[in-house]
Structure 1
Amino acid sequence: MPKNILDTIQSPKDLRKIQKQKLPQLAQELRDFIINIVATKEGHLGASLGVVELTLALHYVFNTPEDLLVWDVGHQAYGHKIITGRKDIFHTNRQLRGISGFPKRDESEYDTFGVGHSSTAISAALGMAIASQFKGDFAKQHIAVIGDASIASGMAFEALNHAGVTDCNLLVILNDNAIGIDPSVGALKNYFTKVNLDVAPETDNIFEALNFDYSGPVDGHDLDILISELERLKKITGPKLLHVITKKGKGLKQAEENQVVYHAPGKFDALTGDLEPKSNDSLPPKFQDVFGITLVKLAEKNDKIIGVTPAMPTGSSLKFMMDAYPKRAFDVGIAEQHAVTFSAGLATQGFTVFCNIYSTFLQRAYDQVIHDVCLQKIPIVFCLDRAGLVGEDGATHHGIFDLAFLNCIPNAIIFAPRNEVELQNIMYTAQLGLPLPIFIRYPRGRGRIIDWEKPFQKMEIGKGEVLKEGSEIAIVSIGTIVNNALEAIYRLSETENEKVGIFDMRYLKTIDEDLLHHIFRNYKTIITLEDGTIKGGLGSSISEFGAKNIYKNRIVQLGIPDIFPEHGSIEELQDICGISSEKILSTIQSFI
């Protein structure tokens, strides 16, 4: 016999058979199940705890998967995954060859749209709704669940603007909890706060002005109210918006009280909620903290420095600057396009702007990088966090395309530090003044140098470095991935080791051609190494250089192949892609 109600549910069809008065018990079981798994396996916690009742209500009222449900971003979709047939494998969440931490179309028919980046749900659901009209299926329901931080994004407003002039069957659920990963910001957040306090005039409704049938706000943890309101809205045609108030981290005291930390807390005690104690051993810093600490140091001496981030102050460590100089640091919300052009506007007026964006999110502002920055030679300092493989967040979050998509843009400098000291030094160099924008990319996680805070040294732009000379094989790398190559050659015999040279290019653009001539003239085999896509990155640039200068050397390119790598640990993914120290060693030995 099943121990609890949750054990009886293999799909939403089973959920709909449950008596409504038993749903609060199911909500508690679902909440406990999420807490117990995430406590040991890690993952995103607070967002899914906050929408347990909403998740159950949506699948209880709507006939999913025939009715189409789209979760924006997907951090909050753990409950959805558990009740749609993935409970027994949920322990594999975010692990290599396990289920994804985000909704994914090829994983389940209930995952109607792949997500991971914010503010896409309304556009996708609107497209589905109009497609249903084309097919003559006017009874089908289309629901987009989006958070208050995500709805402030330009893309979400573009979709609302379009949907408001259609008669399609679209329901937008605004999950309002005043926080995304960090606290929500901006005028729209202030507007929602007024609505929550019941002080906004009834006629002052931004969604009704966009021609949405607005209802709410309602308590997102009251199943009776949620089900009743969803049943009512199901019968109303045209675009609708239900404003739901929830508590991120609901049901776990620490997650409710410390929502930033418990967004993705790592391992913790499922009973007490306390985080797993960290080792007392002294550890090297995270690269994001090297950025944050260095920026504050530079800002102390240079009052023209300004920091900008689109909604990731804690994750990028711009929070250090926001705490030290709150008037000179801006969290502009989930608005990458705005962040880039806002930075450009500041820079035209003589300010030195450090624009910190995760590599995967810079993709969302590509036109602004080209048109508003590089075309005009505006010298913004872009600091691209989470570059390269990021691990368990998977395909939507790997920062593997930046080298390639920036490499083809004129008027750009592209730099990847080998270690923490180089990161602080390139930031120091950039704030002294550059004629062009610079893109500094660095990985997620910790470096390798504990005592990294050295006196600043100016770096020469476009200058690579010889780490080791050899006689036959040159490994030409960029960024921290060179450490894998260094580990590999330490395992060679003394005779083999003498044959291998290692070179850190540092700059993809402007690349050090003098160093490349030296390499091509002295090494028969050149192995390029990068933690970005092989197509368009360092390997491509070196092959182009060789062809242009009519060199005949053998060139072997190591990097991310032409695939979207899935989720898994960084070490596992590097091995799959052939750039782990073990795989690099095998490649070297095959040419000796």
Structure 2
Amino acid sequence: MTNLPATPLLDTVRIPSDLKNIDDKQLPQLAEELRAEMIDAVSRTGGHLGAGLGVVELTIAIHKVFDTPHDRLIFDVGHQCYPHKILTGRRDRIRTLRQEDGLSGFTKRDESPYDPFGAAHSSTSISAGLGMAVASEMTGTRRNVISVIGDGAMSAGMAYEALNNAGALDARLIVILNDNDMSIAPPTGAMSAYLARMASGRTYMGFREAGKKLTAYLGKNIDRAITRAVEHARGYVTGGTMFEELGFYHIGPIDGHNLEHLLPVLRNVRDNGDGPVLIHVVTQKGKGYAPAEAAADKYHGVNKFDVITGAQAKAKPNAPSYTAVFGETLTQEGALDDKIVAVTAAMPSGTGVDKFAKAFPGRTFDVGIAEQHAVTFSAGMATEGMKPFCALYSTFLQRGYDQVVHDVAIQRLPVRFPIDRAGFVGADGATHAGSFDTAYLACLPGFVVMAAADEAELKHMVRTAAAYDEGPISFRYPRGEGVGVEMPERGQILEIGKGRIMREGTKVALLSFGTRLAECLLAAEDLEVAGLSTTVADARFAKPLDHELIRQLAQHHEVLITIEEGSVGGFGSHVLQFLSTEGLLDGGLKARSMVMPDIFMDHAAPATMYARAGLDRKGIVDTVFGALSTSRAKLDASRVL
């Protein structure tokens, strides 16, 4: 590897205990070297950049002060963990981030003992940390548990549920609120740092505990009144009233890039007191790399980039991305129907809702990382005649499933669910794969479940969803570019529950749901060459099923294969249920269902993932031959004879 940054101090750190040998005064230099190492690594692999750059000093300080992995350190979301990985024995593999057989882009228990909890979705760190802290107390193990939460994760209700429970349990838990968006309060310079050190010190905390014991003798009501009055008074100075009300001892805000401020506070908290503590640390996303500082949103997740210029490498697209097509189509339909509104959960650009927001800011709602709220908020709007499009990633919609069932489906409310990142997602791996949405939505009575086979179909489905008012409706589409089909001026309104025939044959039927249709058409060409006349159909709907189409395919073909980029229990399961119920399997039909394998597949290039899953052209052909109990070689031989 050439042109690596010079890192003489970082070279002496293999694991966190090596930090004990470095003087505090040298840590700013270590931070510069660690930041340079991370920038260089991500420039070569792509990945999450801004969040990790913002926690370099904080990560060093935590590992310097605490005894990891005996003390548990949990990073919320996980994409801010790259500096942590470099310091915890994985530096030699840091340039394999998100590559096949390389390091995960998130914390992962299987990867290192320094990752006590895997995290790729947000707002879980306080709950997990509290569980660890309580378990440690129950087993008599003295350890510190540190949960680092930030980057928007405090906008989720789960974080507050955990804070509330932690305060009630009075467990020994340290929460570090990494405020990297100035969302709560900025630090106030030297005075703020002084107050934080004072408030976390032995003298103040000891005085506080003694005062609580004294007021306890005055009676419960007087004790509570005095305690609350004192904490409110301190809250005016330190900004901690809300957290104190939840039962936490609050410290900060302090500058998260100033090690002279961080180290004494962390040491004081380590050495003094019990019960839950919250340290409010303010950091800058993208700190230390000018392009990331100037555009934190664009450098949150990056492709490979030039370190000098910051320019990201992007392959020239052959077709528009599905996300862009959705955003543009929703905007087009929104211009024609003022009841259409867009709802997203902290992912406006990731879902394409940002395009709608530019045109209709008053009809766009980003509710933060709060999928449960997003779903029920959309349900509430639907009751008043609006047409909400609740745009979420498949993997994030899982977080609002109870609300989908109880607040939308049971009430048959016409909430529209555009489901982005359906299927494999390459470098983001198992945690972000959209594997389960068809299975968990198609089982709900009254739900319409669609999947777009290409970008033109996506336009049709956006318009179909806008026009459908009978109940909830969803449509899924993958990450990445479309297949390059001709685009209509405007989408058509599809007939609910009706598929389409793409090519006709007589022996094999391939019934696709979603974007594996292109591979089915390619597989059909191979099957025709092998002498197997093949029909290819696009189901469009997993619910309601096109019973007429399925019956036709079953009755006029020897083999029927369903293909979908989703888990077992989805489209194929519904087709097989119908075939069984209707007795269509009794005549010797060879039916097979192709789905994503029943594993959590690690990150790799999309083509590799499809090949491993058998959901590519070759896998489809092999499945047909398997159903016929023959092979390509045997079939060719029989044709010669």
- What TM-score does the superposition give when structure 2 sets the normalisation length? 0.87
- 2:437 aligned partner: 402
Whole-Å separation in 2 of the counterparts to 1:556 and 1:152: 44
- 2:575 aligned partner: 542
Unmatched tracts of structure 2, length 5 or more: 1-5, 193-233, 629-634, 636-641
Question: Within the alignment, does 1:33 sit opposite 2:37 as a pair?
Answer: yes
Question: Within the alignment, does 1:428 sit opposite 2:463 as a pair?
Answer: yes
- 1:325 aligned partner: 360
Unmatched tracts of structure 1, length 5 or more: 180-188
- Comparing 313-322 with 12-21, greater Cα deviation is found at 12-21
Q: Deviations over 1:394-418 (max 9, x none)?
A: 1110001111111211110000011
Matched to 2:550, the amino acid is L
- 1:367 aligned partner: 402
Instruction: Using the TM superposition, give the Cα deviation of residue 470 of structure 1 relative to its aligned residue in structure 2, in angstroms.
Output: 1.4
Q: Deviations over 1:561-590 (max 9, x none)?
A: 211111111111111111122222333344
Larger radius of gyration: 2
Whole-Å separation in 1 of the counterparts to 2:73 and 2:29: 24
Alignment partner of 1:476 out of 478, 489, 511: 511
Whole-Å separation in 2 of the counterparts to 1:39 and 1:75: 15
Question: Within the alignment, does 1:230 sit opposite 2:263 as a pair?
Answer: no
Instruction: Using the TM superposition, give the Cα deviation of residue 495 of structure 1 relative to its aligned residue in structure 2, in angstroms.
Output: 5.3
Whole-Å separation in 1 of the counterparts to 2:463 and 2:66: 56
Alignment partner of 1:513 out of 521, 534, 547: 547
Matched to 1:103, the amino acid is T
Q: Does the CA contact (< 8 Å) of 2:254 and 2:280 recur in 1?
A: yes
What pairs up with 1:253-264 in 2 under 5 angstroms?
253-264=290-301
Alignment partner of 1:208 out of 240, 244, 250: 244
Q: Does the CA contact (< 8 Å) of 2:99 and 2:427 recur in 1?
A: yes
- 2:223 aligned partner: none
Whole-Å separation in 2 of the counterparts to 1:298 and 1:469: 34
Instruction: Using the TM superposition, give the Cα deviation of residue 270 of structure 1 relative to its aligned residue in structure 2, in angstroms.
Output: 1.6
Q: Deviations over 1:292-316 (max 9, x none)?
A: 1111111111111110001100111
Whole-Å separation in 1 of the counterparts to 2:448 and 2:601: 27
What pairs up with 1:286-365 in 2 under 5 angstroms?
286-365=321-400
What pairs up with 1:61-72 in 2 under 5 angstroms?
61-72=65-76
Alignment partner of 1:442 out of 477, 482, 504: 477
Q: 1:466 to 1:451 in 2, by over 3 A?
A: closer
Partner-residue secondary structure (3-state), 2:247: coil
Matched to 1:114, the amino acid is G
Q: Does the CA contact (< 8 Å) of 1:148 and 1:174 recur in 2?
A: no
Whole-Å separation in 1 of the counterparts to 2:431 and 2:403: 21
- 1:142 aligned partner: 145
- 1:571 aligned partner: 607
- 1:504 aligned partner: 538
Instruction: Using the TM superposition, give the Cα deviation of residue 170 of structure 1 relative to its aligned residue in structure 2, in angstroms.
Output: 0.3
- 1:284 aligned partner: 319
Whole-Å separation in 2 of the counterparts to 1:436 and 1:341: 14
- 2:181 aligned partner: 178
Q: Does the CA contact (< 8 Å) of 2:98 and 2:427 recur in 1?
A: yes
Instruction: Using the TM superposition, give the Cα deviation of residue 488 of structure 1 relative to its aligned residue in structure 2, in angstroms.
Output: 2.4
Whole-Å separation in 1 of the counterparts to 2:468 and 2:476: 19
Question: Within the alignment, does 1:83 sit opposite 2:116 as a pair?
Answer: no
Q: Deviations over 1:520-541 (max 9, x none)?
A: 10111111111101x2112211
Q: Deviations over 1:91-148 (max 9, x none)?
A: 11111221211111111111000110000000000000000110112x3100000005
Partner-residue secondary structure (3-state), 1:459: coil
Question: Within the alignment, does 1:268 sit opposite 2:305 as a pair?
Answer: yes
- 2:591 aligned partner: 555
Alignment partner of 1:20 out of 20, 24, 32: 24
Whole-Å separation in 2 of the counterparts to 1:354 and 1:493: 42
- 1:186 aligned partner: none
- 1:217 aligned partner: 253
Whole-Å separation in 1 of the counterparts to 2:280 and 2:623: 56
Whole-Å separation in 1 of the counterparts to 2:168 and 2:415: 39
Whole-Å separation in 2 of the counterparts to 1:423 and 1:446: 12
Matched to 1:565, the amino acid is M
What pairs up with 1:151-190 in 2 under 5 angstroms?
151-178=154-181, 189=183
Whole-Å separation in 2 of the counterparts to 1:453 and 1:221: 52
- 2:416 aligned partner: 381
Instruction: Using the TM superposition, give the Cα deviation of residue 434 of structure 1 relative to its aligned residue in structure 2, in angstroms.
Output: 2.7
Partner-residue secondary structure (3-state), 1:389: coil
Q: Does the CA contact (< 8 Å) of 2:420 and 2:479 recur in 1?
A: yes
Question: Within the alignment, does 1:60 sit opposite 2:64 as a pair?
Answer: yes
Q: Does the CA contact (< 8 Å) of 2:10 and 2:34 recur in 1?
A: yes
Instruction: Using the TM superposition, give the Cα deviation of residue 494 of structure 1 relative to its aligned residue in structure 2, in angstroms.
Output: 3.5
Q: Does the CA contact (< 8 Å) of 1:421 and 1:454 recur in 2?
A: no
Instruction: Using the TM superposition, give the Cα deviation of residue 25 of structure 1 relative to its aligned residue in structure 2, in angstroms.
Output: 1.2
Question: How well do the aligned residues superpose, as a CA RMSD in angstroms?
Answer: 1.9
Whole-Å separation in 1 of the counterparts to 2:131 and 2:507: 57
Q: Does the CA contact (< 8 Å) of 2:187 and 2:253 recur in 1?
A: no
Alignment partner of 1:251 out of 279, 288, 296: 288
Whole-Å separation in 2 of the counterparts to 1:95 and 1:487: 28
- Comparing 192-201 with 262-271, greater Cα deviation is found at 192-201
Matched to 1:128, the amino acid is M
Matched to 1:192, the amino acid is A
Q: Does the CA contact (< 8 Å) of 1:72 and 1:144 recur in 2?
A: yes
Q: Does the CA contact (< 8 Å) of 1:248 and 1:259 recur in 2?
A: yes
Q: 1:341 to 1:195 in 2, by over 3 A?
A: farther
Q: Does the CA contact (< 8 Å) of 1:48 and 1:249 recur in 2?
A: yes
Question: Within the alignment, does 1:96 sit opposite 2:100 as a pair?
Answer: yes
Whole-Å separation in 2 of the counterparts to 1:457 and 1:363: 29
Partner-residue secondary structure (3-state), 1:201: helix
Higher helix proportion, which one? 2
Whole-Å separation in 2 of the counterparts to 1:525 and 1:55: 57
Instruction: Using the TM superposition, give the Cα deviation of residue 195 of structure 1 relative to its aligned residue in structure 2, in angstroms.
Output: 8.3
- 2:632 aligned partner: none
- What TM-score does the superposition give when structure 1 sets the normalisation length? 0.94
Instruction: Using the TM superposition, give the Cα deviation of residue 489 of structure 1 relative to its aligned residue in structure 2, in angstroms.
Output: 2.6
Instruction: Using the TM superposition, give the Cα deviation of residue 451 of structure 1 relative to its aligned residue in structure 2, in angstroms.
Output: 4.5
Instruction: Using the TM superposition, give the Cα deviation of residue 15 of structure 1 relative to its aligned residue in structure 2, in angstroms.
Output: 1.8
Could you tell me the percent identity over the aligned residues? 45
Instruction: Using the TM superposition, give the Cα deviation of residue 221 of structure 1 relative to its aligned residue in structure 2, in angstroms.
Output: 0.7
Instruction: Using the TM superposition, give the Cα deviation of residue 20 of structure 1 relative to its aligned residue in structure 2, in angstroms.
Output: 1.5
